[in-house]
Amino acid sequence: MKVGYARVSTAQQDLTVQREALQALGVDEKHVHVDHGLTGANRSRPGLEKALAAVREGDELVVTKLDRLARSIRDAHDIADELEAKGVALNVGGSRHDPSDPTGKLLFNVLAMIAEFEADLIRMRTREGMQVAKAKGKLRGKKPKLSPALEKYLVALYRSGEHTTSELATQFDVARSTVYRAVKRAGEST
């Protein structure tokens, strides 16, 4: 049996191309497991875990590209080793990975290095973009839950001693941590 795995990193991306490619590689749609909005750098992914649990000895795990499976050399090798131990073949874009073939091992390692390199480039560009935005004053973080006037009122109610932080959080429809931060910014101790 062929079991497919597809992944996209953001919620805005579409899995259609990967699903169609998996079907073209002989994977039945009901045997395709997906992760939507999860990075390949994180090994803990529900769709991947389901795909790995679904394969049995003699089966084949199919991915369209190696970077859909893993974004680090270590994870790619760990997954490939896990599949090999179970007697499951790994099919990357129609090419079956054979860990006993020196050329196959080389190609797998090169693809894993490229996937990790791409992930490193993405992280580097993101950091650079955030530094540029911060330098221009455009990176300010999350918008505060409370306006300055509401925060001042919340702190005044806290100072009165008539309300607990839980009551204030409920009244202002915020988390208790927001109440604690507002009080701390006002110079009070909770």
Q: Which residues are catalytic?
A: 9
Instruction: For strands 95-97 and 89-92, give the pairing.
Output: antiparallel
DSSP string of the chain? -EEEEEEESSTTS--HHHHHHHHHTT--GGGEEEEES--TT-S--HHHHHHHHH--TT-EEEESSHHHH-SSHHHHHHHHHHHHHHT-EEEETTEEE-TTSHHHHHHHHHHHHHHHHHHHHHHHHHHHHHHHHHHTT----SPPSS-HHHHHHHHHHHHHTSS-HHHHHHHHTS-HHHHHHHHHHTT---
